[in-house]
């Protein structure tokens, strides 16, 4: 009970403005909180509340959400926690994380209950492709809920490209980690068994966060690629939080990348790899 009550106490911050820094010690309702990017958390809480109720229906009523391991994240600190997950839709995955985090804050464990939206966990960010979050009004609104936008160097508008790495991505994720929790999809795509991008490993080496592996399933069957339209209702959506881990400082980028691939269960099964190889060879021969 005391742990839950502590979740509602103000968290002092290092805001560059002395007024906001001092008032953070007594700002119980969070009216004067700002994140490291200068955004007001009261606005973020409002967006989570407004977006939360219709999306709750989609994930927990029209479909069946099953959460496992929420008790593991209830004991985590308020900062420097990095959630690493596989990815199945643009928005439904992230929205579900927000629902779970809000319910954990209220002490609901593996149950997602919409009353938690009235005092959501606002110190949460997620990494998203810049082009995805700028396509339409709804993505732009969702972006205000905590998106850390990155420019993908390997893909743009559905096509493979090659361009310079977004040098600001790592520093922005580090800012988010110093302030709260960050959700990342290290494959950078909703395609299953896609390679892990090494940028995630570099962030882990630089920030040394607590890593929480997450495995999700069912979202691809329930929703379209954006996660905003149904494909099949009454689908079981599964979110499994695994034990938090730390990487040793001497771990290499290659070692971290390989571990990430395994812990989010994106190591391609041999039968699928063999099938893809055979299909590719068949295409070449014809």
**Residue 168 has what pLDDT?**
80
CA-CA-CA-CA torsion sign (144, 145, 149, 155): negative
**Residue 2 has what pLDDT?**
72
**Residue 13 has what pLDDT?**
84
- pLDDT tens digits for range 182-196: 999 999 888 888 999
Higher pLDDT, 141 or 68: 68
Higher pLDDT, 108 or 275: 108
**Residue 12 has what pLDDT?**
87
**Residue 286 has what pLDDT?**
47
Average pLDDT (137-161) is: 76
Say yes or no to pLDDT of 203 above 60.
yes
Average pLDDT (128-140) is: 84
Higher pLDDT, 270 or 265: 265
Kindly give, in sequence order, each residue whose CB lies less than 8 Å from that of residue 85, ignoring residues fewer than 6 positions away: 93, 97, 183, 184, 185, 213, 214, 215, 216, 264
How far is residue 108 CA from its own chain's centroid? 20
**Residue 151 has what pLDDT?**
82
Average pLDDT (11-26) is: 87
Average pLDDT (136-156) is: 81
CA-CA-CA-CA torsion sign (4, 122, 238, 207): negative
Pair of tokens at residue 69 = 């391991």
Say yes or no to pLDDT of 270 above 80.
no
Angstrom distances, CA of residue 236 to CA of 44, 71, 146, 218 = 29, 21, 27, 6
The pTM (predicted TM-score) of the whole model is: 0.89
- pLDDT tens digits for range 49-70: 999 999 999 999 999 999 999 9
At residue 92, what are phi and psi to the nearest 5 degrees? -60, -35
- pLDDT tens digits for range 65-79: 999 999 999 999 999
- Would you list the DSSP string of the chain? -HHHHHTTS------SSHHHHHHTTT-TT-TT-B-TTS-BHHHHHHHHHHHHHHHHIIIIISSEEEEE-HHHHHTS-SSSEEEEE---SSSHHHHHHHHHHHHHHTT-TT---GGGGGS---SEEEEEEHHHHTSSHHHHHHHTTTEEEE--SSEETTEE------THHHHHHHHHHHHSEEEE-TT-SSSTTPPPPHHHHHHHHHH-PEEEEEEEESHHHHB-TTSSSBSSSSPEEEEEE---B---TT--HHHHHHHHHHHTT-S--HHHHHHHHHHHHHHHH-
* C-alpha atoms less than 13 angstroms from C-alpha of 210 in its C-beta half-sphere: 16
Say yes or no to pLDDT of 283 above 50.
no
Using CA atoms, how far apart are residues 34 and 24, in angstroms rounded to an integer? Answer: 10
Average pLDDT (158-182) is: 79
């Amino acid at each position: 009970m005391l742990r839950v009550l502590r979740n509602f106490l103000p968290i002092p911050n290092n805001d560059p403005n002395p007024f906001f820094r001092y008032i953070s010690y007594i700002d119980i309702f969070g009216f004067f909180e700002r994140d490291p990017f200068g955004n007001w958390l009261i606005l973020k809480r409002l967006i989570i509340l407004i977006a939360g109720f219709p999306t709750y229906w989609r994930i927990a009523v029209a479909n069946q959400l099953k959460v496992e391991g929420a008790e593991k994240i209830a004991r985590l600190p308020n900062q420097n926690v990095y959630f690493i997950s596989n990815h199945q839709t643009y928005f439904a995955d992230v929205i579900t994380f927000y629902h779970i985090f809000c319910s954990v804050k209220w002490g609901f464990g593996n149950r997602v209950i919409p009353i938690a939206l009235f005092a959501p966990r606002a110190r949460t960010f997620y990494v998203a492709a810049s082009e995805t979050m700028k396509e339409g009004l709804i993505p732009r609104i969702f972006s205000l809920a905590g998106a850390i936008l990155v420019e993908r160097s390997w893909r743009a508008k559905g096509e493979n490209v090659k361009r310079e790495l977004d040098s600001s991505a790592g520093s922005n994720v580090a800012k988010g980690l110093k302030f709260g929790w960050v959700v990342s999809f290290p494959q950078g795509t909703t395609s299953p068994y896609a390679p892990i991008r090494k940028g995630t490993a570099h962030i882990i080496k630089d920030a040394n966060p607590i890593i929480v592996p997450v495995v999700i399933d069912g979202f691809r069957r329930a929703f379209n690629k954006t996660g905003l339209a149904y494909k099949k209702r009454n689908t079981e959506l599964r979110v499994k939080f695994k034990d938090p881990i730390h990487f040793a400082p001497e771990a290499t980028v290659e070692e971290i990348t390989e571990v990430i691939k395994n812990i989010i269960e994106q190591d391609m099964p041999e039968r699928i790899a063999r099938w893809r190889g055979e299909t590719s060879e068949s295409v070449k021969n014809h």
